[in-house]
Each structure stands twice: as structure tokens, then as C-alpha cells.
């Protein structure tokens, strides 16, 4: 597949909210532009370092989505995918923080006990159990239904070994950058969208929630193992992640 004809769909967990614009090394209008797009239009992101929001054509290197793979053959234009997986415990909590305090804020403790009228459980508990189903369903569909090649990246490994993981992603994309570009990416890898861990001693998850987390993680682990064997690929970080 030629690079020009390949559009890559970056799949992240629904509630991840970690920047998938991994290679934004210069602005769109620069002499050399390496940017990634998105199926969404977040004007806040567009104004603060993500100039290719809502761009899904060949002018961007890769396209972000938090959703399931598009399977409509007539309109299908994405032939490969980078699947960025984050531990569901952290992903679900990050999304709950986002719901109450945006991209970088932290939800106050009292909202974890809040309960809607006529509900038998807290809003937090309802959120967790719904997102557990969504998290598993999203990964199941990508790993079992997407017909193209998939490169899996584990969020925790990406954070810990950013340069190495970026090089692997670039290799999968069949795209080469200079050492200067990579150094620039490393220098600016965090940006402004970093949530402060305000409550270090606060764990909103119950024992039953942890049991649910462990069950879906193990099911996705088995599915990833099946995918690896079927496609003769190996994803680094799998054992440490799950």
C-alpha cells in the first residue's frame, strides 16, 4: 500500500482523552507540516495546538476517533489503524473528570457520591458499569471486525517509552521523520492538556468495580493474544499492561 493511498484511523478508548496527535511537530502553515486529524471538531483543541481538528483527508498523517471501526464498504477509506489502549481503571476515571471539569480539571469528591433521582446507585457507579461495557465492546469490535492491519500501542508504555513507541508507530505508518523532528516531538510531548492528580489519597472504585475491571481486562487480553497469533504479530507491553 502506498503512503498516499493509505488513511489510518487512530482508535482510542472512548473515554481516553489523551492526545492522539502524536506527531504534531510543526503548524499546518509551516514549510514542513506533520499533523494528524480528527473526526471531531473541538474548537478548544483547535485553538490550542491541534490545527487539524475535523480533517480526515490525505493532508493529515493519521485520523483520531474514539469510536468503533467504520464498516460501511462504500464510504470506507481507512485501511489500517493504530489502536491506543489505556487501562480501563484510569480511562474511566479520566472521563468522569472530563465530564465535570473538562480536559485538564479534576472532579470534586462529592460528585462520586451524587445520585440522580429514582436511581438506586450513584451516578459514578452507573458511569463505571456503562463504561466497562463500552470499553470492552469498543476493543472487541476493533480486534474482531476491523479488516485492516492494526498496530496496538499501550498508553502506559507510550508514556514511559515515548520515543521508542513513536518510532514503532512511524514504522507502521511507513513514514520517516528527521532526528530534529523527533527531538521536537519529545520536547513538546505533554503540551497543555495534562490533568493534575489532585486527590492522591482518593480511590473511588469499590471491590465490585475492581472485579468488573479485572474481568474485562482479562477478556480483552485473551482477544489480543488471539489477534497476535492469527496475524503473526507481537505487541510489546501486553503482559505488563493486563
**Residues near 106 by Cβ (< 8 Å), separated by ≥ 6?**
97, 195, 196, 197, 198, 199
Q: List CB contacts of 96: < 8 A, sequence separation 6 or more.
A: 107, 111, 112, 124, 127
Chain segment 143-172, per-residue pLDDT in tens: 998 888 999 999 989 988 999 999 999 999
Q: How far apart are CA 129 and CA 106, in angstroms?
A: 20
Which domains are delineated in the chain? 7-241 (3.40.50)
Least Cα distance to 19 among 32, 28, 10, 30 occurs for 10
Lowest pLDDT segment from 22-36, 97-111, 164-178: 22-36
Q: Which three cell numbers stand for residue 62?
A: 493519521
- Write down the pTM of the prediction: 0.78
Strand residues in 86-186 grouped as ranges (E) = 149-154
Q: What confidence tens digit (pLDDT) does each residue in 193-241 have?
A: 566 666 667 899 999 999 999 999 999 999 999 998 888 887 766 655 5
With bands split at pLDDT 50, 70 and 90, how would you rate the model's confidence at 3? Answer: very low
Q: Which DSSP string do the residues of 152-179 spell out, in sequence order?
A: EEEHHHHHHTHHHHHHHHHHHHT----H
Interaxial angle between packed helices 123-145 and 88-101, expressed in degrees from 0 to 180 and rounded to the nearest 10: 120
Look at residue 214 in the predicted model and tell me its pLDDT: 94
Contact of 63 with 39, CB cutoff 8 Å: yes
Average pLDDT, the chain: 77
Question: In angstroms, rounded to a whole number, what is the distance separating the alpha carbons of residues 90 and 35?
Answer: 27
Average pLDDT over residues 72-94: 80
Amino acid at each position: 500500500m502506498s503512503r498516499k493511498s493509505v488513511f489510518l484511523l487512530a482508535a482510542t478508548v472512548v473515554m481516553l482523552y489523551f492526545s492522539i496527535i502524536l506527531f504534531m511537530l510543526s503548524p499546518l502553515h509551516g514549510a514542513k507540516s506533520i499533523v494528524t486529524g480528527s473526526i471531531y471538531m473541538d474548537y478548544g483543541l483547535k485553538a490550542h495546538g491541534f490545527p487539524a481538528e475535523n480533517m480526515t483527508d490525505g493532508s493529515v498523517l493519521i485520523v483520531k476517533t474514539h469510536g468503533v471501526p467504520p464498516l460501511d464498504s462504500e464510504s470506507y477509506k481507512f485501511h489500517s489503524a493504530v489502536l491506543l489502549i489505556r487501562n480501563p481503571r484510569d480511562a474511566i476515571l479520566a472521563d468522569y473528570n472530563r465530564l465535570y471539569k473538562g480536559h485538564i480539571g479534576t472532579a470534586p469528591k462529592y460528585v462520586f457520591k451524587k445520585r440522580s433521582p429514582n436511581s438506586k446507585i450513584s451516578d459514578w457507579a452507573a458511569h463505571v458499569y456503562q463504561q466497562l461495557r463500552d470499553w470492552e465492546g469498543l476493543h472487541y469490535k476493533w480486534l474482531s471486525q476491523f479488516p485492516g492491519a492494526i498496530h496496538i500501542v499501550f498508553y502506559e508504555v507510550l508514556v514511559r517509552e515515548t520515543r521508542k513507541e513513536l518510532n514503532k508507530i512511524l514504522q507502521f505508518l511507513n513514514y520517516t521523520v528527521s532526528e530534529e523532528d523527533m527531538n521536537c516531538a519529545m520536547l513538546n510531548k505533554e503540551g497543555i492538556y495534562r490533568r493534575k492528580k489532585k486527590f492522591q489519597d482518593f480511590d473511588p472504585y469499590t471491590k465490585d468495580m475492581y472485579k468488573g475491571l479485572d474481568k474485562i481486562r482479562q477478556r480483552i487480553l485473551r482477544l489480543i493474544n488471539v489477534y497476535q497469533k492469527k496475524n503473526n504479530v507481537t505487541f510489546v507491553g501486553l503482559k505488563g499492561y493486563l
